[in-house]
Amino acid sequence: MDFVKVKAQVISDSTGARTEIPTILTSNGILQPLTDYLIARSHDRSVSWMLKVVQATMLFLAYTEANAGNFQDPTALFRGFVQRLHTGTVGLDGLDPSGLFWEPLSAANARTLTGALTEFSAWLETNRGAILLNPETNLSNHDRALDELAREYRRNRSFLGHVQDLGHPQRGRSVRSKRSPKVDEESAVAFPTDRFEQLITTGFSSGGKVNLRSILIALLMQGAGLRLSECFHLWVHDVAEDPSDPSVALVRIHHPSLGAAPLDWLDDQGRPRQCNRSTYLRGRYGLAPRTQLVGTRRAGWKNPMLDGKHFMQAYWFPADYGRLFLRLWKAYLRQVAAFERTHPFAFINLSGAAAGQMYCLESFKTAHARAVRRCGLTPSKAAGTTPHGHRHSYGRMLRRAGLQPRLIQKAMHHKALGSQAVYTAPSLAETSDALNSAFADLGAHLPRSTIPPTLEQLMAHGFEDVDPDGLLSGTNPKLVRGAV
């Protein structure tokens, strides 16, 4: 059976309202059970979640076709599928008779896909009478201990977690995905602060033209710690002069659906309509919020801690970034005014057939990578030179400035205090420098006999001689080329 992922607009009742979802088109038509499942959950689950369910289903369909007749029951088939998510399908000889040629997934991705397919299967059992792929079973002592640790971790991170009773279940799913190893956060995740000026002055310039749009997005991430996706929910109406300092931009990112709409949409009586952004987009432009779109126009939303009623404010650090943003914003608006727009979003395409339409995340990622290369850097997550590296850089600057954790939490719009750890953790270089400095201080206050030996003292024992038996070195080596 051939199948492909498609974007579908579904009308499920007499209202005529359309719901846009991803689903699977097979040689026999739309995969209806999957479509029904996604529609049933569309009110409380994100498009990102739907895409994961579709991905898991497509992989499982491919695995099922490639292994027809190899398993006696659905659970065994599902277990084999989960194993291949972790190991891949290519043998050590480089061959794969199944024709799948899967590369191993990370433990986190495999776990996500396993969970998505397990939930879908449970829904099919309840609503369609299907056989459950991953039934519950009694947990082993090992699995119960792991689950207890996971529950305690969630309790400690949760607001009012001390009053929550998470219980101690004795049962769990038969097929469990491998857990990710606990890894300390890598140091090379923050964009190098000393190269940001070059990025916005040189990187985002080409042919003598400065890309104001990309610079503004970069400033929001580096100077206010916003996530890339959050920048793409900014409307033209959302930037103003800060009343407390008119030289600084006041930027508020509103909730994609629930945020208050501008008051420039009038009713039949000529009065401003009081509505949220979802209503405004649908009524004035025939659009849905970007979180509900499928395709390149979609922008995610991580449910940050909001500052006011359905908005979060950008906190500039330093304030000069906010001053620069305001100056460039005014120049950028003159560019935007030259295009006819059918949406309120701030960042638009400025050339080509799509001029005036919404600017997309993937387009910025490409532009950012190109700008990074112009600066002589390599775009990579490990080097901190991807867009998300700017948010890490912002968090590290706040920590180095000595701000209290609660203030950092507020500035970065984290719901949990512990969420900032990944952004404010010391880098590997900082850790090494701190240890070297501490060792130097130690030597100045303790007796020499209690201090570990130096390199020179250790090398005095003859470690430089890597051939102590004289087999290959010395004046008369025992083993020489050609010797019998």
344 close to 237: Cβ distance less than 8 angstroms: yes
pLDDT score, position 54: 96
pLDDT score, position 484: 44
- Give the span between the Cα atoms of 137 and 479, in whole angstroms: 64
Q: HSE (CB half, 13 Å, CA atoms) of 179? A: 9
Q: What is the DSSP string of 410-476?
A: HHHT-SSGGGGHHHHSPPHHHHHHHHHHHHHHHHTTS-GGGSPPPHHHHHTTTTT-S-TT-SSSSSS
Residue 111 CA, chain-centre distance (Å), reads 16
Looking only at the bridges linking them, the beta strands covering 29-30 and 18-26 are antiparallel
The DSSP output letter for 291 is: G
Residue with tokens 């846009």: 20
pLDDT score, position 460: 65
Sheet strands side by side (includes 3-11): 3-11, 18-26, 29-30
Across 229-332, the runs of DSSP E, i.e. the strands, are 239-242, 245-254, 311-313
pLDDT digits (tens, 9 = 90+) for 249-281: 999 999 999 999 999 999 888 999 999 999 999
**How many other CB atoms sit within 10 Å of the CB of residue 395?**
24
pLDDT score, position 186: 45
Q: What is the DSSP string of 168-213?
A: --SEEESS-PPPPPP-PPPSTTS--GGGHHHIIIIITEETTEE-HH
Domain with CATH 1.10.443.10 in the chain: 193-424
3-class secondary-structure state, position 222? helix
**How many other CB atoms sit within 10 Å of the CB of residue 172?**
17
3-class secondary-structure state, position 136? strand
Q: pTM score, two decimals?
A: 0.73
In this prediction, the residues of the chain whose per-residue pLDDT falls under 70 are 138-172, 174, 176, 178-188, 418-432, 435, 442-443, 446, 448-455, 457-484
pLDDT score, position 159: 47
Cα-Cα-Cα-Cα torsion 186, 301, 354, 391, nearest 10 degrees, comes to -30
Inter-helix orientation angle 47-66/74-87, to 10°: 110
- Give the span between the Cα atoms of 363 and 357, in whole angstroms: 12
CATH superfamily of 193-424: Intergrase catalytic core (1.10.443.10)
Cα-Cα-Cα-Cα torsion 386, 387, 389, 394, nearest 10 degrees, comes to 160
pLDDT score, position 180: 60
The DSSP output letter for 288 is: -
38: buried, middle or exposed (CB in 10 Å: 19+, 13-18, 0-12)?
buried
pLDDT digits (tens, 9 = 90+) for 445-464: 767 666 666 667 666 655 55
